[in-house]
Amino acid sequence: MADVGLGVVGLIGLFNTCLEGYKICLSIQDSDDDLKLLRARMYLEKERFANIGRTCGLLGDGTGDKGRTEALNEFLAKNKFRRKSIEDILVLIDNLLEKAEELNKKYEENEGLPEALQDNDMKEKLAGKFRGLKRSLRKGTWSIRDKAAYEQMLGHLVGFNTALERILPDPLQQFLATVLPATICASSNEDTLTQASQIPTSDAFLKSQIQWTSEVLGVVSIPRGTELDIASFTNSAPLGKDKSRLLATDANSQTIFIEWTPWERVSMRADKPTRASRISGLLRDEKCDELRLLPCAGYLEEHSDLSDKVRYGLAYRISTRHKKVKSLYDLLESFQTIRLPALEARFELARTLCRAVLLYHSSGWIHHDFRSHNIIFTEGKGEDGTGATSAEYQGVDIGRPFVVGFGHARDENDASLMFADEKAVSKTLKQQRRYWSPDYLASSAEKRTNRAFQQSHDIFSLGCVLLEIGVWRPLESYTWEKAYSNDHTTWYQRLTKEEGKLTAMCGSRYAAATMRCLNWKSANVEKDVRALAFEVLLKLEEITV
């Protein structure tokens, strides 16, 4: 039993003791299907517990012991009742998990042989078989005799984790609800995803994200997208100045948003129809709201009459009543003539986009072209189609962004795309190079890159968008100097010079979250997801106006 009145270091120690108890519970292996499911549920509760610790500073985030104690002190200082409440619950968890350790010791494997079999010849022959038999007996004991105790323990842990979460303020509780599916999916493989999908839970968001991840990774098969005929759409019109984007109407009078990829030589894109079909199939149905995706009606293929070139398009369904669509870039273009949106509206937009990227990455999905051009908004009307929403700005609802531009999207194990021809390259680079990490593209003058596009490069692009939202100015409004093309690192240095302005306009937390993205150094997928959650999104969630 822990002493009452623990200090910060003591709380951290008690938390880590509890975490070790969870690991003991998860060390139990068994072929019994029921126990496998119980173990999957235990893993989910362990992740809940760890995420609570990372959120309030009880579990390290890579900043060292000093960073942990400072973060925890700051968290506890905001409410005098937090320390005692957390300590009381941790003591209960510690006492409960001690029982698991006792059971583990009780059925610990005895490596020795019975005295009657101590003869050396017999020992050599039977030692391996005897150890195997003892392991089987131990597993059987857990699965038969103590399955009920294991399940009862799990039920108590669910309640304790819920109690810990309720100590946190509402924004952080919502943050944890987003982060749990992300950390679960990022650390899962094919087998654990299958088991996780079978866990009975009322958390629809968690089940939806597990399903999405299973589809991205191919654990669950999905039908290919439908090839559409551009002639089947009516009232087709370009979206503003961008001729590669159209608004049209389908046979059911539903508004359709179409985006085309650049024209490319047919010989360079033999795999593109399959890729377009797969992406449209993956985006086919309604997804959980946090992914910020529009349902995809299908894909289009168009061949040029004048040359050996082809382009592909994705067609997204938009609510019938929404006839106006603008991109974030469209809104930012007017930064010199129209007032900025409210600060809280900009913060919420940043949080929403960061959540979406976090969930893409936790499923193994890379956007590959994340920028303000590919974030769109629809008409700012209420749910009944009348009146304005609280986040209306320039006639659209900036509280509900949608992410598009998935023409180059892929899962993390798929091959990165190469550019097609010099004309397409220069046009693409003109728009995209400002959002590309210098680790990906050392020089814009190279025209091509053999480097694989990674999640860390997506996070750099997210940092660029956070910068745009903070200063409310598009990156294309910054003068592009020749030096930036010769050495892309100098462009990165230009962006980081905006930290002072960003701090003045949005505060130190927002600036720190943005700079963290721009200075991203990749570790691995699981660690990157955790860092994006607890070093970027958490900072954004903690901002108050």
Q: What is the pLDDT of residue 63?
A: 46
Specify whether 14 is located in the same domain as 163. Answer: yes
Looking at 320, 354, 380, the residue that finishes a domain is 320
Specify whether 151 is located in the same domain as 243. Answer: no
Specify whether 145 is located in the same domain as 80. Answer: yes
251 in a structural domain = yes
What is the value of pTM for the model shown? Answer: 0.86
For 533, half-sphere exposure in the C-beta direction (CA atoms, 13 angstrom radius) is: 30
CA 510 – CA 141 distance, rounded (Å): 53
Question: Looking at residue 284, which CATH number applies to its domain?
Answer: 3.30.200.20
CA 330 – CA 240 distance, rounded (Å): 9
400 in a structural domain = no
Over the stretch 418-449, which tens digit does the pLDDT of each residue have?
Answer: 443 444 444 556 778 899 888 887 644 454 55
Q: What is the pLDDT of residue 429?
A: 64
Residue 259 belongs to what domain range? 222-320
> CA dist 145 to 26, 150, 371, Å?
17, 10, 56
Looking at 290, 320, 350, the residue that finishes a domain is 320
CA 243 – CA 379 distance, rounded (Å): 20
522 in a structural domain = no
Q: What is the pLDDT of residue 134?
A: 46
Q: Per the structure, how many domains does the chain have?
A: 2
Over the stretch 219-261, which tens digit does the pLDDT of each residue have?
Answer: 888 888 999 998 999 888 888 778 889 999 998 888 999 999 8
Q: What is the pLDDT of residue 27?
A: 76
467 in a structural domain = no
CA 75 – CA 433 distance, rounded (Å): 40
Collapsed DSSP state (helix, strand, coil) of residue 281? helix
Residue 430, token pair as written in the block: 């003109």
> For 396, phi and psi rounded to 5 degrees?
-125, 165
Q: Kindly give the parts of the chain with pLDDT less than 70.
A: 1-5, 28-32, 61-68, 100-146, 267-273, 320-322, 380-390, 410-429, 442-451, 523
Q: What is the pLDDT of residue 291?
A: 95
Looking at 300, 320, 340, the residue that finishes a domain is 320
Q: What is the pLDDT of residue 124?
A: 53
30 in a structural domain = yes
43 in a structural domain = yes
DSSP string, 458-523: HHHHHHHHHHHHHHT--GGGS---HHHHH-HHHHHHHHHTTHHHHHHHH-HHHHHHHHHHHT----
Specify whether 307 is located in the same domain as 163. Answer: no
User: Is the Cα dihedral 512, 513, 518, 520 positive or negative?
Assistant: positive
